Amino acid sequence: MKTIKAMIVAGMLVWFPAQASAGDYEVQNVMDDAMYGAGVGAMVGLGLMLLTDKPTDNWNYITRGLGVGIIGGAAYGIFRSSKAFAEVEDGQINLGVPSPEFTLRQTPAGMDLVMTTHMVVGHF
């Protein structure tokens, strides 16, 4: 019973901030990714629990899956949300986590894998 209460509280913590932050597009995306991660993590935990010899003794698999899903989904949302360290738009500076971009480049020695990251992006 304690596990079910923990799952309800965790679900509420994921759901309500996502609704409250709907005005900010990037925050909304991070919250949505965390919520979907929570659902997928809980389902994977449920599947693993059902594969054990005594499923009723392993309810904690669901809560662990839920927690890992929230963290993984939020990390994915943060990684996906920004492409540069600093973005300048309409006189405001927004700081974020730069996302690397990988490309193949032809060199005299052959093909090289090149990683680039934008540090500052400005819209004028």
Question: Tens digits of per-residue pLDDT, 2-25?
Answer: 666 666 666 665 555 444 434 456
* 51 and 6 within one domain: yes
**pLDDT digit string (tens) for 70-94?**
999 988 887 777 665 666 667 666 6
* 66 and 122 within one domain: no
pTM of the model: 0.53
* 28 and 61 within one domain: yes
Q: Is the pLDDT of residue 45 over 90?
A: yes
Q: Domains in the chain: how many in total?
A: 2
| Phi-psi domain of 50 (left: phi exceeds 0; alpha: psi -120 through 50; beta: other) | alpha
* 75 and 95 within one domain: no
* 92 and 56 within one domain: no
Strands annotated E in 3-122: 84-89, 92-95, 101-107, 110-116, 118-122
User: The tokens of 32 are what?
Assistant: 């949505």
Of 28-37, 64-73, 74-83, the one with minimum mean pLDDT is 74-83
